[in-house]
Amino acid sequence: MRLYRYITGADDSAFCKCVSKALSGGWNLHGSPTLAHNPETGTMMCGQAVVKEVEGIYSENITLSEH
């Protein structure tokens, strides 16, 4: 099955590390990253979709960050 995650966070090194951790865990980038301004905090927010092929059948109990 193919799993999908959308990682979000402020445009900082912590976000980049989170995406890098997913990539090192076998996830692959899916599409282009997104960038949006949060007017309440004045920060730029990032998003990146990632996908991963794993064994098994989808269940609501899957914890995506554990794959």
The pTM of the full predicted model, rounded to 2 decimals, is 0.85
pLDDT digits (tens, 9 = 90+) for 5-30: 999 999 999 999 999 999 999 999 99
Mean pLDDT over each residue of the chain, to the nearest integer? 94
3-state secondary structure labels for all residues of 18-60: HHHHHHHCCCEEEEEEEEEEECCCCEEEEEEEEEEECCCCCCC
pLDDT at 50: 98
- Say which residues have a Cβ less than 8 Å from residue 62's Cβ, sequence separation at least 6: 3
